Amino acid sequence: MYDTAQICENGHVVNSSFRAYPQFNTDHCEQCGAKTIHTCPLCGKDIRGRYMDSMSLSEFPAPAHCNACGAPYPWTTNAMEAYRDLLGLAANLTDEERGKLSIAIDDLITDTPRTQTSAVRVKLALQKVAPEVAQGMKQILVSVASEAAKRGLGL
37-55 pLDDT, tens digit per residue, is: 999 999 999 999 998 876 6
100-149 pLDDT, tens digit per residue, is: 999 999 999 999 999 999 999 999 999 999 999 999 999 999 988 989 99
Are residues 122 and 137 in contact, defined by beta-carbon separation less than 8 angstroms? yes
Are residues 109 and 89 in contact, defined by beta-carbon separation less than 8 angstroms? no
The neighbour count for residue 114, using CB atoms within 10 Å, is 15
Band the pLDDT of 84: cuts 50, 70, 90.
very high
> What number is the average pLDDT over the span 25-33?
97
Are residues 71 and 43 in contact, defined by beta-carbon separation less than 8 angstroms? yes
- Report d(CA 45, CA 102) in Å as an integer: 29
pTM listed for this prediction = 0.87
For residue 58, the model assigns a pLDDT of 64
For residue 56, the model assigns a pLDDT of 61
- Residue 13, sorted as left (phi over 0), alpha (psi -120 to 50) or beta, turns out to be beta
The neighbour count for residue 81, using CB atoms within 10 Å, is 12
Q: Which of helix, strand or coil describes residue 41?
A: coil
For residue 59, the model assigns a pLDDT of 80
- Residue 85: φ, ψ to 5°: -60, -40
